[in-house]
């Protein structure tokens, strides 16, 4: 397989949506494939289905290894038998988002003309991602979800589900997220997009057809974003000013410092598993996300009298989607009359804490799901 | 002038150091030119000299317009007749740093072989910058400074002066700075360096000889760094999610948001006035800066019984060199037995606050200098 080819899809479970998908931009995608993975079994009335929504660079392999990249599951700490998202009790499904690059239709997919979309792919929104998931769930014969759960961009989808289809979601768990991308969020992702588009190998978005890949630009984008996922305290704890495989600074532009070596690795390893145009589209969807804009800036009105039960999590040292962004969600939900629990977890691990070992968070998530399941008779 | 030529130096005041300059890396620069500017007059015994040290992308034009770029003075709020750094009372000098690109010898200068150094230029340190300033001051016939003042990287130089030559500095004013670049600081500058070096027009550092400039990479580097100079609150206050010259999002990768347009402007305008290799060298000097490493990690020992009077400033919303980094300096100075005042200024303007309108800061700086001047009989 040439290294510029889109991921081979034979090892992936893929469902083709039965109907065309209308998008917020006004365009329609006639052929949409959704790649997914699942764990645990549905119960008789399918009332125990949990949808896991992944973050920007995640995929559907939340609880089992990715057969294409060989990478381990990204959320093994919370999904599995006896874990918070207990696969002995729940039927857990994860899809790759619309616009993604792990089997779901996105800019690296072929357009109806048989050539990769590239930047001919329509600009999508978080709302479109969720509409695609709803069509997917319906195609599986599932009427409603017991829970929709996600961190970061996954949390946006958890909120969007509750906003779009309150009757189809029993609980929603937005984690380390925001209902409204901030100017600083937009700024960081704009730097990443500019880095990709500045790479001559981006070829105005047409790199797949030309046998190229903007790997340098994509690596820079990843490096810049990665800094925002880690707290200043965690960087100090892990690396401080430690040198990489040397006793003294080299008086050169080599990766003298461990933190430089770590960032370079983050950038270079990312380009093997992610499509640069997907990065553009998915970050754009996040930038466009502002739930409150649907009710003239009043987020509470979006959720007025919602039947959905929410559990919102934030992490104290997360400066990408800081606690305050999650408190805004919580306050709006309370004002809307929703049932909402909110936990701010003390952690020095920054935004990435939602993927890492944080026992209080894991126990609280387990408790929320378990008590909600009892209410629903699961 | 072709757009890849180094700045024309005829409009600049330049002094050639009389002796070769030994560097921390072990190399020696035989020919070093220092570009400078000055305001106000020296008094009879030259006891009223203040040295202004500029930040990463600054230059010697602190208090008068840059004749080459046409840009206004960068510190007109504090330097001038009757201002905090009163040019009726003090003789104020600013130099372009070693490794810079506004007339002082740096990677864009010609090496002894008549061709631009490029990455043949030796990697320099903040210590080297200050050694060059000390040689420059001596060449002007000035024995000691009444004060050395700078923000950000300029603050590092203010600290370095006090460490290197405590007998030659009466007061030192480090502003919004750090005695030790943090892992996060290094990470951000590493992203910038990687963006420059990833640009094919960087030509392995040899772009001047090849008639090219890595403008795209340098713009990305500037954009990434610029985000760290502004607080999240200031970005929200100035831009929030405001759209640029449009009513609705465009469903494209245009600069829909004002913050995107602003960042792109910051990037593109920067490349006309700054040399990409200088950016590599000067950020590297900052990353290497760790005053405490000279005393086995004990910063206080570097300043033990120093006669220098210090005034340290930080700004509450600065997350590039946060208040805590400046408090560390202050605590070390107190432990060293130094006379030190410390002010943390409440401001939502982030790191850039040191260049902006902050009346309490300006008054405090004026007061510190004025009372110190009385002590010195100026």
- The DSSP string of A42-58 is --TT---EEEEE--TT-
Length of chain A: 378
**CB–CB of B190 and A223 under 8 A?**
yes
Measure the CA–CA gap between A372 and A357, rounded to whole angstroms: 23
3-class DSSP state of B6 = coil
What are the pLDDT digits (tens) for B85-144? 999 999 999 999 999 999 999 999 999 999 999 999 999 999 999 999 999 999 999 999
Per residue, the 3-state secondary structure of B245-301, as one string, reads CCCCCCCCCCCCEHHHHHHHHHHHHHCCCCCHHHHHHHHHHHHHCEHHHHHCCCHHH
Model pLDDT, residue B228 = 97
Mutation target vs A (from B219, B241, B293; most A CBs, 10 A cutoff): B241
Model pLDDT, residue B11 = 82
Structure tokens at A306: 């919602």
What are the pLDDT digits (tens) for A121-145? 999 999 999 999 999 999 999 999 9
**β-strands A33-39, A145-151: how paired?**
unpaired
**CB–CB of A183 and B240 under 8 A?**
yes
Mutation target vs A (from B29, B183, B257, B284; most A CBs, 10 A cutoff): B183
3-class DSSP state of B91 = strand
Model pLDDT, residue A11 = 82
Residues A147 and A50: beta-carbon distance below 8 Å: yes
Instruction: Provide, as residue numbers in chain B, all residues whose Cβ is less than 8 Å from the Cβ of A184.
Output: 227, 232, 235-236
Structure tokens at B117: 């150094």
Question: Is B3 among the residues known to form the active site?
Answer: no
**β-strands A145-151, A79-80: how paired?**
unpaired
Chain B contacts in chain A segment 182-221 (CB below 8 A):
182-184, 186-188, 190-191, 193-195, 197-200, 216-217, 219-220
Q: How far is CA A215 from the centre of its chain?
A: 21
| A235 closest CB neighbour out of B24, B187, B199 | B187
Structure tokens at A200: 């001559």
What are the pLDDT digits (tens) for B29-84? 999 999 999 999 999 999 999 999 999 999 999 999 999 999 999 999 999 999 99
Model pLDDT, residue B6 = 47
Measure the CA–CA gap between B378 and B371, rounded to whole angstroms: 10
**CB–CB of A240 and B183 under 8 A?**
yes
Chains A and B form CB pairs within 8 A to the count of: 147
3-class DSSP state of B188 = helix
Measure the CA–CA gap between B182 and A267, rounded to whole angstroms: 20
Positions of chain A with pLDDT under 70: 1-10
Instruction: Provide, as residue numbers in chain A, all residues whose Cβ is less than 8 Å from the Cβ of B260.
Output: 186-187, 190
Residue B216 annotated as part of some ligand binding site: no
What are the phi and psi torsion angles at A140 (to 5°)?
Answer: -80, -5
The gap between the terminal CA atoms of chain B, to the nearest Å, is 45
What are the pLDDT digits (tens) for B269-326? 999 999 999 999 999 999 999 999 999 999 999 999 999 999 999 999 999 999 999 9
Nearest to A330 by CA among A320, A321, A343, A317: A343
Measure the CA–CA gap between B96 and B157, rounded to whole angstroms: 12
| A251 closest CB neighbour out of B123, B198, B253 | B123
What are the pLDDT digits (tens) for A268-320? 999 999 999 999 999 999 999 999 999 999 999 999 999 999 999 999 999 99
What are the phi and psi torsion angles at B12 (to 5°)?
Answer: -105, 150
**β-strands B339-345, B309-315: how paired?**
parallel
Q: Is A113 exposed, middle or buried (0-12, 13-18, 19+ CB in 10 A)?
A: exposed
Nearest to B346 by CA among B362, B361, B333: B361
pLDDT at B5 over 50: no
Residues A211 and A2: beta-carbon distance below 8 Å: yes
> Between the CA of residue B173 and those of A317, B80, B373, what are the distances in Å?
31, 17, 14
Sorted by sequence, the CB contacts under 8 Å of residue B49 that are 6+ apart come out as B42, B90, B91, B92, B93, B137, B142, B144, B145, B146
Q: Which domains does chain A have, with CATH numbers?
A: 13-182+291-375 (3.40.50.1820), 185-283 (1.10.1740.110)
| A186 closest CB neighbour out of B183, B216, B260 | B260
Structure tokens at B39: 């305001």
Ranges of beta strands (E only) in A292-362 are: 309-315, 339-345
Q: How far is A124 from chain B (nearest CA, A)?
A: 8
Question: Is A152 among the residues known to form the active site?
Answer: yes
Residues A79 and A366: beta-carbon distance below 8 Å: no
What are the pLDDT digits (tens) for B228-253? 999 999 999 999 999 999 999 999 99
Catalytic, out of B318, B320, B347, B372: B318
Nearest CA in chain A to B223: A191
Structure tokens at B311: 């005034």
Give the mean pLDDT of B257-268. 96
Question: Is B181 among the residues known to form the active site?
Answer: no
| Residue A203 region by backbone torsions, left for phi larger than 0, else alpha for psi between -120 and 50, else beta | left
**CB–CB of A183 and B119 under 8 A?**
no
Model pLDDT, residue B2 = 41
Chain A contacts in chain B segment 313-352 (CB below 8 A):
319
Q: Is B243 on the interface with A (CB under 8 A)?
A: no
**CB–CB of B190 and A264 under 8 A?**
yes
Q: Is B287 on the interface with A (CB under 8 A)?
A: yes
Nearest to B82 by CA among B371, B377, B363: B363
Residues B137 and B112: beta-carbon distance below 8 Å: no
Structure tokens at B288: 């290497």
Measure the CA–CA gap between B17 and A127, rounded to whole angstroms: 64
Residue B254 annotated as part of some ligand binding site: no
Residues B100 and B59: beta-carbon distance below 8 Å: yes
**CB–CB of A251 and B198 under 8 A?**
no
């Amino acid at each position: 397989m040439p290294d510029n080819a889109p991921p081979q899809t034979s090892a992936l479970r893929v469902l083709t949506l039965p109907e065309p998908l209308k998008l917020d931009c006004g365009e329609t995608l006639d052929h949409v494939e959704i790649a997914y993975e699942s764990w645990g079994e549905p119960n008789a009335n399918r009332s125990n289905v949990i949808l896991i929504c992944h973050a920007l660079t995640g995929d559907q392999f939340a609880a089992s290894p990715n057969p294409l990249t060989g990478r381990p599951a990204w959320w093994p700490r919370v999904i599995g038998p006896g874990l918070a998202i207990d696969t002995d009790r729940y039927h857990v499904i994860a899809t790759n988002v619309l616009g993604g690059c792990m089997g779901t239709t996105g800019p690296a997919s072929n357009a109806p003309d048989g050539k990769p979309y590239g930047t001919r792919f329509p600009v999508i929104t978080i709302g479109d991602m969720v509409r695609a998931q709803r069509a997917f769930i319906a195609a599986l014969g599932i009427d409603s979800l017991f829970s929709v759960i996600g961190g970061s961009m996954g949390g946006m989808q958890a909120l969007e589900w509750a906003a779009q289809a309150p009757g189809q979601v029993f609980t929603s768990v937005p984690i380390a997220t925001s209902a409204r991308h901030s100017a600083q969020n937009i700024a960081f992702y704009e730097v990443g997009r500019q880095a990709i588009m500045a790479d001559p190998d981006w070829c105005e978005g047409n790199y797949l057809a030309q046998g190229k890949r903007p790997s340098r630009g994509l690596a820079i984008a990843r490096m810049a974003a990665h800094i925002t996922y880690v707290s200043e305290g965690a960087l100090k704890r892990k690396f401080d000013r430690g040198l990489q495989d040397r006793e003294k600074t080299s008086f050169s532009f080599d990766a003298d410092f461990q933190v430089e070596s770590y960032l370079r690795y983050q950038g270079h390893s990312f380009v093997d598993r992610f499509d640069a145009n997907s990065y553009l589209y998915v970050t754009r969807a996040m930038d466009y996300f502002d739930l409150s804009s649907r009710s003239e800036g009043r987020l509470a009105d979006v959720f007025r009298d919602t039947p959905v039960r929410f559990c919102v999590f934030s992490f104290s040292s997360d400066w990408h989607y800081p606690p305050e962004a999650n408190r805004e969600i919580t306050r709006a939900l309370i004002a809307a009359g929703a049932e909402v629990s909110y936990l701010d977890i003390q952690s020095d691990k920054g935004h990435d804490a939602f993927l890492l070992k944080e026992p209080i968070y894991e126990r609280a998530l387990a408790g929320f799901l378990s008590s909600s399941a009892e209410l629903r008779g699961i």
